[in-house]
Amino acid sequence: MLSLIITAAIFITPSHTFNHPFSSFSRSSIIQNTCDDHKVLSRTTVRGKFDCGAACGQDADCQRYLYCANNARCMLYLDGTDCIMNGDSTGCYCYSKAFGYTGTSITCPLGYYGNNCEFLYKDCHEAWENGVNIDGKFALMTIQPNASSKPFEVTCLLEYDGGSTVILFRTSICKHENFNRTMAEYEHGFGSVPLNRWIGLTKLRAIINYRTPDFEFRLHVLLFNTAWLPCSSFYLGFEVDNKLSKYSLDIAYKGDIPCGDSLTDLVGNPFSTYDSDHTGSNKCAQRFGGGWWFGNTPNCTKSFLTGTMDGSRVDNFWLDNLSGECLKKSVVFLMPYPN
Ligand SMILES: *[C@@H]1O[C@H](CO)[C@@H](O)[C@H](O)[C@H]1NC(C)=O
Ligand SMILES: *[C@@H]1O[C@H](CO)[C@@H](O)[C@H](O)[C@H]1NC(C)=O
Ligand SMILES: *[C@@H]1O[C@H](CO)[C@@H](O)[C@H](O)[C@H]1NC(C)=O
Ligand SMILES: *[C@@H]1O[C@H](CO)[C@@H](O)[C@H](O)[C@H]1NC(C)=O
């Protein structure tokens, strides 16, 4: 992606002990959507996009800004890379901070740290342990687990629980994201619609298999039924096998299950997609769409969280104990739990 670097003037005399008198920004994209979960830090009217950049540059908390020429509106945000807008984006610009220096403190994009933003956290948990927090529930963060050759962006849940990494996020509020995808896409991860993402099997494995020995991840499933009532269930010893073993599901045992348990039955099942369907003549992945640990049975599965959410094909469901409910929202995340 082409990134245009601009520098925002800092209206202070740079101290000689710092080598970074400027903040730098990269141009990012504007995504059309009705849902935007990002918290606005400030909303002002300015003379132009450079003044908006300067405002973000001088605010240590600002990671991104959106400026629209038609109303001279300048919005500063706490996190995120791309901007979300609903409506005409002509004359609007989105920039994210690649490096920030206010004269006294350095701001790195979420997930990066160090005096030159040269280091990356290994997962949301490590970031949380080091004091990264966002006033709000979810934050997009770049991480790089040991097993991964490249950094990648994940949704972190930083609020209260030690820094959880979200592996699957679905909500019916946002515009539709296609979840009927190939195995290659399920391996890599996808989701450009805000809050509708699948982390990717390779990335998921990199996070769970290279954790430190002093904690384990609990797999939490948070579901909202048709009436938007939430419930959650969690599991211990969650593992996903390697590619050779077809990313088979393993769960050691279940914890609290207020939603019921529709996952333990799938233990040992390989992960299937329409182009890599391991359910024989039952053709579960082809019939259901999406990617899941379908069984080679006529019923295929007791749970399915990568279906549609608009009733167009097979919707998301969790038969035990939300039978018949078409889920409005589901969040599956890895919550660190000390051993
Ligand atoms: C990741 O790599 C670093 C540096 O090689 C090492 O110190 C650390 O223990 C590793 N972490 C895990 C969880 O394997
Ligand atoms: C789920 O439903 C079954 C059968 O109705 C019931 O025995 C069980 O207690 C329920 N579990 C939960 C967690 O609600
Ligand atoms: C999923 O996509 C494939 C390929 O386009 C198609 O053959 C299949 O019918 C789709 N499945 C569903 C349930 O939409
Ligand atoms: C499969 O679905 C049928 C019809 O809904 C049901 O009677 C049967 O118990 C299910 N079998 C399993 C293994 O869930």
Helical H segments across 34-173, by residue range: 49-58, 124-129
Give 289 Cα–ligand 3 centroid separation in angstroms.
6
Q: What integer pLDDT is reported at residue 21 of this predicted model?
A: 57
Q: What integer pLDDT is reported at residue 152 of this predicted model?
A: 94
Give 174 Cα–ligand 3 centroid separation in angstroms.
22
Helix (H) or strand (E) holding 30: strand 30-32
Atom 3 of ligand 1: nearest residue by CA position: 146
Q: How many Å apart are CA 172 and CA 204, to the nearest integer?
A: 24
Check if 232 has its Cβ closer than 6 Å to any atom of ligand 2.
no
138-156 pLDDT, tens digit each? 888 899 999 999 999 999 9
Task: Measure the CA dihedral 145/148/153/158, to 10°.
Answer: -10
Q: How many Å apart are CA 78 and CA 61, to the nearest integer?
A: 6
Give 321 Cα–ligand 2 centroid separation in angstroms.
6
Angle, CA of 242, 337 and 332, to the nearest 5°: 55
The secondary structure of the chain in percent helix, strand, coil, rounded to multiples of 5, reads 15, 35, 50
Which of 279, 299, 300 is the pocket-test mutation for ligand 4 (most atoms within 8 Å of CB)? 299
pTM: 0.88
Check if 321 has its Cβ closer than 6 Å to any atom of ligand 2.
yes
Give 146 Cα–ligand 1 centroid separation in angstroms.
6
Q: What integer pLDDT is reported at residue 20 of this predicted model?
A: 47
> How far apart, in Å, do the first and last CA atoms of the chain sit?
41
Judge whether 217 and 334 are in contact, CB under 8 Å.
yes
337: which residues sit within 8 A by CB, 6+ positions away? 162, 215, 216, 217, 218, 236
Q: What integer pLDDT is reported at residue 159 of this predicted model?
A: 73
Q: Work out whether strand 329-338 and strand 215-224 pair parallel, antiparallel, or are unpaired.
A: antiparallel
Give 163 Cα–ligand 2 centroid separation in angstroms.
30
Judge whether 208 and 334 are in contact, CB under 8 Å.
yes
Cβ < 6 A, ligand 4 pocket: 297, 299
Judge whether 95 and 86 are in contact, CB under 8 Å.
no
Ligand 2 atom closest to residue 233's alpha carbon, by position in its atom list: 13
- What is the number of other CB atoms lying within 10 angstroms of the CB of residue 99? 20
Q: Work out whether strand 92-101 and strand 40-45 pair parallel, antiparallel, or are unpaired.
A: unpaired
Q: How many Å apart are CA 6 and CA 74, to the nearest integer?
A: 17
Atom 1 of ligand 1: nearest residue by CA position: 146
Give 320 Cα–ligand 2 centroid separation in angstroms.
7
Q: What integer pLDDT is reported at residue 136 of this predicted model?
A: 61
Which of 231, 233, 321 is the pocket-test mutation for ligand 2 (most atoms within 8 Å of CB)? 321
Q: What integer pLDDT is reported at residue 160 of this predicted model?
A: 66
Q: Which of 175, 166, 174, 186 is nearest to 289 (CA)?
A: 186
Give 263 Cα–ligand 4 centroid separation in angstroms.
16
In this structure, what token pair is assigned to residue 64?
């991104």
Check if 210 has its Cβ closer than 6 Å to any atom of ligand 1.
yes
Q: What integer pLDDT is reported at residue 39 of this predicted model?
A: 79
Domains in the chain, please, with CATH? 5-107 (3.50.4.10), 122-338 (3.90.215.10)
Q: How many helices (H) and strands (E) does the chain have?
A: 6, 23
Residues of the chain with pLDDT under 50: 1-20
